[in-house]
Amino acid sequence: MKHFNKISDLHEALGVKPPEHPLFSVMYGEYGSCDGTYEVEFTSAFYIIGFKKLKSGSMLYGRTKYDHDRGAMSFVKPQQKVTFKHVELQEKGFLIVIHEDFLPGTALYSEIKKYGYFDYEVNEALHLSPSEEDIIWNLYYSIEKEHYNNTDELSKAIIISLLDSLLKYAQRFYKRQFINRTQLTGSTVTRFNALLVAHFEERKTKNMGLPTVSGMADELNISARYLTDLLKQETGKTALELIHLFLIGEAKNLLREGERNISEISQLLGFENTTYFSRLFKKEVGAAPNKFRDSLLN
């Protein structure tokens, strides 16, 4: 598998003209501009922001295929595996490629790492409404115009500012997407809670550790970051916080039953040591497990 350190090498692999800048490029395509013959699999030192509606072919990053019948924005971070295979555009599309070395010394250097959607799988891409598409395309055209037509000492700062706006709008639109998919979101919350219950029941007969966010996400066939953001939107709590609340709820129930000591309860729940269990319990409940049990007896 190829690794691209130079944006020019990616351009060559995709069969497009060399970039104007070694650390930043924009690629615009219309229907028919991609012939669908190329196939490239790579990792890179780039952030890649794209919008595309495909007539045929596929895009893959992470573990999940991007279906060609769905138009969406996608966000790829450096070192992430990406595959373009026989891509033909149904409508216009774009790619913005930002080398990680383009960002040091700018506010976006730290800010871009805060956008969790760069960790989403491709099937969790951002699907835009017509009015949202207009906003994104206006920002893209402004970036493209600044990149090609106004090169001076302020160009980079203006491009960074426009990119920052684009990423902030993407964050807003993702929140809208979560809200508009309340049925899907509610279903995921229900399945998440059911998995926690199943995990606890399985622990009674098998030597298993604590449930993890990544493990739960794998079982739900979504990325860990998307799961956390989706649950946060729906419940106000992250996936890890919900796991902790479930474990503490089970611990309270076991303490009320009074049949096991604290060490046994800790082990049953999957904690490797009692100290960690007791510390988490006190953090969530406000009292250590033994104090909580004593209060029940009194």
For the cut 60, the answer to whether the pLDDT of residue 36 exceeds it is no
The predicted-structure confidence for 220-247, as pLDDT tens digits, reads as follows 888 888 888 888 877 778 899 999 988 9
Q: CATH number for the domain including 134?
A: 2.60.120
Q: pLDDT grade, residue 22 (50/70/90)?
A: very high
261 and 140 fall within a common domain: no
% of residues, the chain, pLDDT over 70:
84
pLDDT the model gives residue 67: 44
Q: Domain end: 165, 180, 195, which one?
A: 180
267 and 253 fall within a common domain: yes
Q: pLDDT grade, residue 69 (50/70/90)?
A: very low
6 and 124 fall within a common domain: yes
171 and 215 fall within a common domain: no
pLDDT the model gives residue 86: 60
222 and 139 fall within a common domain: no
Please indicate whether residue 139 or residue 125 has the higher confidence score (pLDDT). Answer: 139
Q: Domain end: 180, 208, 227, which one?
A: 180
Between the alpha carbon of residue 241 and those of residues 97, 176, 200, 245, 288, the distances in Å are: 35, 23, 16, 6, 18
pLDDT the model gives residue 68: 40
Least-confidence region, from 88-97, 129-138, 270-279:
88-97
Q: Which amino acid is at 227?
A: L
Q: CATH number for the domain including 203?
A: 1.10.10.60
Q: pLDDT grade, residue 158 (50/70/90)?
A: very high
- On whether the pTM is more than 0.75, the answer is no
Burial 133-142 (b: 16+ CB within 10 A, else e): bebbeebbeb
d(CA 192, CA 220): 8
d(CA 297, CA 294): 5
92 and 230 fall within a common domain: no
Total domains, the chain: 2
User: What is the pLDDT averaged over residues 93-101?
Assistant: 92
Q: Residue 54 sits in which domain range?
A: 2-180
189 and 142 fall within a common domain: no
The predicted-structure confidence for 41-65, as pLDDT tens digits, reads as follows 788 899 999 887 655 555 655 544 5
Please provide the distance, in angstroms rounded to a whole number, between the alpha carbons at the two ends of the chain.
66
User: What is the pLDDT averaged over residues 94-108?
Assistant: 93
Q: pLDDT grade, residue 180 (50/70/90)?
A: low
192 and 169 fall within a common domain: no
Q: Domain end: 180, 197, 220, which one?
A: 180
d(CA 23, CA 271): 47
143 and 188 fall within a common domain: no
21 and 140 fall within a common domain: yes
| Phi/psi-derived region of residue 57, left when phi > 0, alpha when psi is between -120 and 50, beta in every other case | left
pLDDT the model gives residue 159: 95
Q: pLDDT grade, residue 201 (50/70/90)?
A: confident
120 and 252 fall within a common domain: no
| Residue from 226, 176, 207 nearest 271 by CA | 207
114 and 49 fall within a common domain: yes
pLDDT the model gives residue 162: 96
Q: pLDDT grade, residue 66 (50/70/90)?
A: very low
